[in-house]
Structure 1
Amino acid sequence: MPDSMLFNRRTFSAMLLASTAACARSVPDSSPPEEFVPQINFLDGYGPIQDGEYHLPGIPDTYTQGINRRMTGEYLGEQSSGTIDVDPYAKFLYNVKSDGTAVRYPVGVGRQGRSINGGATIKLKREWPGWTPTQNMLRTEPEVYEPFRSGVPGGLSSPLGSRALYLYRGSRDTYYRIHGTNDLESIGNSGSAGCIRMFNQDIIHLFEQVDIPTKVHIRSREESMRVDPENYERGVELPPKIVSREELFGTSTPNADDVELFTDS
């Protein structure tokens, strides 16, 4: 489905069957049966990507069903053009354009009580960023974060995925990020410790359009209910996941975002 499909608040549209016949044989075939490999389908814009030295796998279409995918259409929010408008209750991020449209991306957000709110500004953006736990993370959950005290370098194992946009208030780093993730299940749900997650393909798409600085607005509960009541509180709250350092570095495509980020306030 192309990402140019129009959307609005009221309308959203959303197996291949095959059969084979074996030829009759006069002598039984004693060769072992071929292993069945299920076909994986990707929507347009969500296929595999070669990004520099890194090969990003595609996002299977089981994760991009219905509205849980990138779409372009009329912007119905309340922010000015050039703003990134995030709805943590409907689990969407809007890149607002000057012509009255927006590119809408599905996101994963923090569990209840751990999400950023209000306004911020993107003052830094990085490709394949590394990650280091904050002092607050080490202090509050040492059993989770102490193994990562020295940090995780940028790459396929980084909890920040393929790209990261860094949110500031004034000159202060909030330690919140808009970033990629390998934890596909989290998109459209609440499950992180506060940052705004996107499919890696989507954060790459957004990254190329974001100037420095860019204003970010995080919708309040009341604003979400007023602007997008149909999608208010979509998704579920996922339980926290914990991976060991061995698990994180022992695979090329880990659920790396299970190592979570939250504010150091």
Structure 2
Amino acid sequence: MGKWGRSAALALGLTAVAAGVAHATEIFDPTSRTWVRYDPQRAINYYRAHGSVPGDFRRQVVKFRTAEKPGTIIIDSNRHFLYLVLPNFQAIRYGIGVGRDGFGWAGIVRVGRMQEWPVWTPPPEMVARDPKAAKYAGGMPGGPDNPLGARALYLYEGNKDTIYRIHGTTEPWSIGLDISSGCIRMNNEDVIDLYSRIEVGAKVIVLMQGAALYRGV
């Protein structure tokens, strides 16, 4: 659940992604052997039918050539993948949900702190527009109904909290979509796995939309 919009991202020196340039999510349909649009309704229907997201968005080890050292996180918002760099030109690839139009961003940040079953505190602008959020203005305790899910990695630029997070979700069907307010969401099993593999201080690279890694990495 992202907590800042474009102005806050720019104030921190991060690069906001202009609305209208986000790439539509696509998944490969083995029946028609074509790439088809993957929208929220298709995602919900797929999850109801299969109990999981499409195979491309499930956790897997892939070949991955990069000069970044193991332990670095690289986020490809266009393709909805988060890569955790491993030795020997490999990475663990996780499916993610990213910012909807107007809430995308890019930059190089770090994991400033980590939390199990984090408290969610909606920002003032969300409290003002959403009565459901207003009752948690003082913070919603961590737990299975909390929008931040099972784990949260708090992203910092230098020593300043960007208010962006990598976190779990109560909507596992949403992985693979442009749906958040700027944060990077993962299913709870995946964010628990990622949390167990990294440390505070880990480098996080969020690629600019339009500069993503090519399809099929």
TM-score of the two chains, using structure 1 as the length reference: 0.60
For the pair 1:174 / 2:162, whether they are aligned, the reply is yes
Does structure 1 conserve the Cα–Cα contact (< 8 Å) formed by 2:53 and 2:175? no
CA distance in 2, matches of 1:78, 1:113: 30
Higher share of residues assigned strand: 2
Identity of aligned residues (%): 38
For the pair 1:85 / 2:74, whether they are aligned, the reply is yes
TM-score of the two chains, using structure 2 as the length reference: 0.72
What's the CA shift string for 1:65-93, capped at 9, x where partnerless?
32120000211456443210001110000
Quickly say closer, same or farther: Cα 1:60–1:107, change in 2 above 3 A: farther
Residue 199 of structure 2: which of 203, 211, 217 is its match? 211
Quickly say closer, same or farther: Cα 1:158–1:60, change in 2 above 3 A: farther
Unaligned runs of 5+ in 2: 1-27, 31-47
Does structure 1 conserve the Cα–Cα contact (< 8 Å) formed by 2:111 and 2:156? yes
Alignment RMSD? 2.4
CA distance in 2, matches of 1:115, 1:69: 22
Describe the SS at the equivalent of 2:199: coil
Unaligned runs of 5+ in 1: 1-11, 15-58, 232-265
CA drift at 1:163 = 0.5
Farther-moved stretch of structure 1 (184-193 vs 59-68): 59-68
Aligned to 1:228: 214
Does structure 1 conserve the Cα–Cα contact (< 8 Å) formed by 2:105 and 2:182? yes
CA distance in 2, matches of 1:78, 1:107: 23
For the pair 1:163 / 2:151, whether they are aligned, the reply is yes
CA distance in 1, matches of 2:112, 2:190: 19
Quickly say closer, same or farther: Cα 1:129–1:145, change in 2 above 3 A: same
Residue 141 of structure 2: which of 112, 134, 153 is its match? 153
More relative contact order in 1 or in 2 (CA 8 Å, sep 6+)?
2
Which structure: larger Rg? 1
Residue 119 of structure 1: which of 94, 108, 114 is its match? 108
User: For residues 1-265 of structure 1, what are the structure 2 equivalents within 5 Å?
Assistant: 61-77=50-66, 79-139=68-128, 141-143=129-131, 145-224=133-212, 227-229=213-215
Does structure 2 conserve the Cα–Cα contact (< 8 Å) formed by 1:79 and 1:85? no
